[in-house]
Amino acid sequence: MVRVFYRGLKFDVSPGVYEPAEDTFLIADNLKIRAGERVLDLGTGCGILGILGALQDGKVTATDINPAAIECAKQNATHHKVADRMKFEVGDLFEPVKGEEFDLIVFNPPYLPRSGVLDGDPTGLSCEGGADGRLLIDRFLDEFSRYLSFRGRILLVHSSFSDPQKTLRKLSAQDFCVEVVERPLFFERLVLFRASKKDLI
C-alpha cells in the first residue's frame, strides 16, 4: 500500500492501482466544479479526482476497467466521507455509463507510447497507450461528446509524446473551444486540455 498526499488530503493506493503523479495533480489543480454538477471520472484509479469533485459538492460517477482500482477508490471515498455522493462502476471507458450525460468529464488516460499494453498487468493498462500513445485518447475523443450535457466540458491530460496537436485538431473539428495548460517535466511536457462548446464561451 502506498500513501499519496494532495493539499493535505490523504489517499491510499493499493497494489496494482495507478499511483497519482504529476498528470493527476495537473487535472486536480484545474478541477473546478459547481455544486450539483454531474461529474464522470473516467479511469478513476485510487479515486482522487472523483473524490475532489465530490468534496466540491459534485455528483460523481467513478469508473475503471480495473476492479482493484474501484475497491481502492471506494475505500478512499469512505475515508473522506463522500461515498454517498459517488457511484462506482467497473468497465471499459464509457461502457458503464451508456445513456447518461455529465456536466464534466475528466480523463487521465494511458498515454505512454509503447508497442502495446502489458497483457494481464493492471499497472500496464493504466500507463501504456499503444504504439503511439493514443489508443485510449482517440477512443475517448471519438465518443465523449455523446455523454456531455448541453453545457458540458472536459478535462483531458496526456503527454507531449502523444501528439497533442492531433488532440487539438480533433476537438476543434467537433466545434469545441480549447484552453491548453502545459507543465514541463524532465523529459516531456504534460498537456491539459480544457474544452467546451464554442457557442457557450
Give the chain's end-to-end CA distance (angstroms, integer).
43
Please state the φ and ψ torsions of residue 91, each to the nearest 5 degrees: 165, 170
Taking residues 99-113, report their average pLDDT. 89
Taking residues 123-144, report their average pLDDT. 74
Percent of the chain with pLDDT over 90: 79
Q: What is the pLDDT of residue 46?
A: 98
Q: For residue 185, what is its C-alpha cell?
A: 517535466
Residues 6 or more apart whose CB falls under 8 angstroms from that of 139 comprise 93
Indicate the SS3 state at residue 189. Answer: strand
List of domains in the chain: 2-200 (3.40.50.150)
To the nearest whole number, what is the mean pLDDT of the chain?
90
CA distances from 56 to 39, 49, 110, 147, 194 (A): 11, 11, 26, 21, 18
Taking residues 144-153, report their average pLDDT. 94
95 has a pLDDT exceeding 70:
yes
Helices (H), 80-173: 122-125, 135-143, 164-173
130 has a pLDDT exceeding 70:
no
Residues 6 or more apart whose CB falls under 8 angstroms from that of 4 comprise 10, 11, 12, 13, 19, 20, 46, 48
Q: What is the pLDDT of residue 135?
A: 86
The count of residues in the chain is 201
Q: What is the pLDDT of residue 156?
A: 98
Which among 32, 25, 81, 87 is positioned nearest to 59, based on CA atoms?
87
Report DSSP state, residue 115: S
Q: What is the pLDDT of residues 16-74, one digit of tens each?
A: 999 999 999 999 999 999 999 999 999 999 999 999 999 999 999 999 999 999 999 99
Angle separating helix axes 48-55 and 22-29, nearest 10 degrees: 20
120 has a pLDDT exceeding 70:
no
Of 56-65, 95-104, 178-187, the range with the lowest mean pLDDT is: 178-187
